[in-house]
Amino acid sequence: MTDTATTTTSLNKFEKFKAQKDGLAIKSEIEKFAALGWEAMDEIDRDHRLKWVGVFFRPVTPGKFMMRLRMPNGILTSSQMSVLAQVVQRYGDDGCADITTRQNIQLRGIRIEDLPDIFNRFHAVGLTSVQSGMDNVRNITGDPVAGLDADELYDTRELVQQIQDMLTNKGEGNPEFSNLPRKFNIAIAGGRDNSVHAEINDLAFVPAFKEGSGEWGVGSGEESPTPYSLLPNPQKVFGFNIIVGGFFSAKRCEAAIPLNAWVLPEDVVAVCRAVLEVFRDHGPRANRQKSRLMWLIDEWGVEKFRVEVESRLGKSLLPAAAKDEIDWEKRDHTGVYKQKQPGLNYAGLNIPVGRLYAEDMFEIARLAEVYGSGEIRFTVEQNIVIPNISDSRLATFLTEPLLERFSIDPGLLTRSLVSCTGAQFCNFALIETKNRALAMIKALEADLTFTNPVRIHWTGCPNSCGQPQVADIGLMGTKTRKNGKTLEGVDIYMGGKVGKDAHLGTCVTKGIPCEDLQPVLQDLLIKNFGAKLKQEALVINS
């Protein structure tokens, strides 16, 4: 490590404990912790280092840990889902799972004494939770309908898996990337609708065609780079424009900015490695509120950052293509859609606020096996997609009782509802989110009619895990005062645009007590999103 990273006097407490013992060292100590019990563990190991293997101590429910998996491109098999269901099933009422805003899943109620057995079960079905928390690269997102969508530009699945394998040493843990200055998010968009919210990632790849000119690609290091002139159609070559530095934090939120670079798909893994090496070795480590990649880009300027990335790559990057291919409104994939493979369909099921229980998970696994190919996918809206349902089985699939709860045609608010974990399990939370979000949507849908979905995102604190800045209406938990009392409240964000011309929403109103929120939302929905009171609609139609 260089410059800022080595100045021990300015290291924050996280940097100090990482320097004493790398988080990944915890991997060989799991048996010991299981025998010891959580009460007897060293606090830094328990509260922080365990996150390097995806195990999160929950101060709200001490002794009942959360486990965050890795789901490259949000894809898993029915056998993997069954294993996850078995894990949470043993915890009875304490056990459940949440689909996350990064196309991933978290398990709850986990006891430390069970970790060796859980890791063995994960290993047997190819699941990993390694490096999913703290100063590591989070789950890498890709297009949720990759390989299914006739209109896709690039099937992101293999690339996402390759990046994860490089970062995590095929799920075993990779000390090269286990001590970044801060968390890091990577996304690859493969379609025209930016299903991954590329702009809110530290590093994202956005589809873009480049007019051929006989220049050389950068190559992945091991094999020779592909010259444009040898590509099948050198006049119009597919690749990705690179954007960098997008992030949300309590103090600052930024959309990613162009790196002014374009890469061939086969160079994406090498570029990820180069960017991460630069961030690892030069990213600021003194103040954790100012450690995300954008702070380094601010300090250096994007030009210098690009030059450093090129120097790690050992090659120049080509300038960005003039335009990218994101020209659709964002789809939510809820409903039944034809696949590019004749006779096959994918079904997007709405999972209200992403919450699943063991019996739901077994049932989803069963449906995927009986009607599909055993594959299940997650979306960043915390929903699921079951692909490869044949035309002949579709009608029976649609009669399955699970679809009454996990609908393919939910109400227009339910459809787009997203919520972070909130006070039930998260100690940063300023408010309860998931249950409140569901109750609020139910009440609003009872009173109003809608013509279009309205995307409402709840997040329990300014860390913004529920991404309120990408929503039509974003609700961020806060504490507020009313009649001399402190109450749970929200700041309201509006104007988030996703898909084509994505941009972040901003705070429009602060400190609305949650108990007064319903009429405020009703008013916003009527004035800004064309909702109508059911009574009014009845009069107009009669």
Residue positions annotated with a catalytic role: 68, 182-183, 460, 465-466
Strand partners, 186: 203
Tell whether residue 383 is a contact of ligand SRM (CB under 6 A).
no
183 binds, among ligand SF4, ligand SRM, none (CB under 5 to 8 A by kind): ligand SRM
154 binds, among ligand SRM, ligand SF4, none (CB under 5 to 8 A by kind): none
Smallest separation, CB 47 to ligand SF4 (Å): 15
Smallest separation, CB 185 to ligand SRM (Å): 5
Tell whether residue 220 is a contact of ligand SF4 (CB under 6 A).
no
292 binds, among ligand SRM, ligand SF4, none (CB under 5 to 8 A by kind): ligand SRM
DSSP string, 125-169: TT-B-TT-SSSSB-PPB--TTTTT-TT-S---HHHHHHHHHHHHT
Give CA angle at 51 (49, 54), nearest 5°: 145
What residues from 205 to 264 belong to the interface with ligand SRM (CB under 6 A)? 247-250
139 binds, among ligand SF4, ligand SRM, none (CB under 5 to 8 A by kind): ligand SRM
Strand partners, 513: 489
Smallest separation, CB 96 to ligand SRM (Å): 11
Burial 82-106 (b: 16+ CB within 10 A, else e): bbbbebbbebeeebbbbbbbbbbbb
Smallest separation, CB 211 to ligand SRM (Å): 33
Binding mask 79-108 for ligand SRM (x = CB under 6 A): -------------------x-xxx-x-x--
What residues from 415 to 474 belong to the interface with ligand SF4 (CB under 6 A)? 420-422, 426, 428-429, 459-461, 463-466
Burial 171-206 (b: 16+ CB within 10 A, else e): bebbeebbbbbbbbbbbbbbbbbbbbbbbbbbbbbb
Tell whether residue 196 is a contact of ligand SRM (CB under 6 A).
no
DSSP 401: T
436 binds, among ligand SRM, ligand SF4, none (CB under 5 to 8 A by kind): none
Smallest separation, CB 196 to ligand SRM (Å): 9
Binding mask 421-460 for ligand SRM (x = CB under 6 A): x---xxxx--------------------------------
What is the distance between the alpha carbons of residues 31 and 497, in angstroms, rounded to a whole number? Answer: 47
> Largest Cα–Cα distance in the chain?
75
Q: In the bound complex, which residue of the shown chain has the CB atom lying closest to ligand SF4?
A: 460
Helices (H), strands (E): how many in the chain?
A: 16, 23
Smallest separation, CB 248 to ligand SF4 (Å): 9
What is the distance between the alpha carbons of residues 319 and 330, in angstroms, rounded to a whole number? Answer: 27
Taking alpha carbons only, the member of 377, 351, 393 closest to residue 103 is 377
Strand partners, 418: 457
DSSP 394: H
What is the distance between the alpha carbons of residues 367 and 375, in angstroms, rounded to a whole number? Answer: 10
Residue 342 neighbours by CB distance under 10 Å: 7
Please report, as ranges, the residues that interact with ligand SRM according to CB under 6 A.
56, 58, 66, 68, 98, 100-102, 104, 106, 138-139, 183, 185, 200, 247-250, 292, 420-421, 425-428, 463-465, 467
Please report, as ranges, the residues that interact with ligand SF4 according to CB under 6 A.
420-422, 426, 428-429, 459-461, 463-466
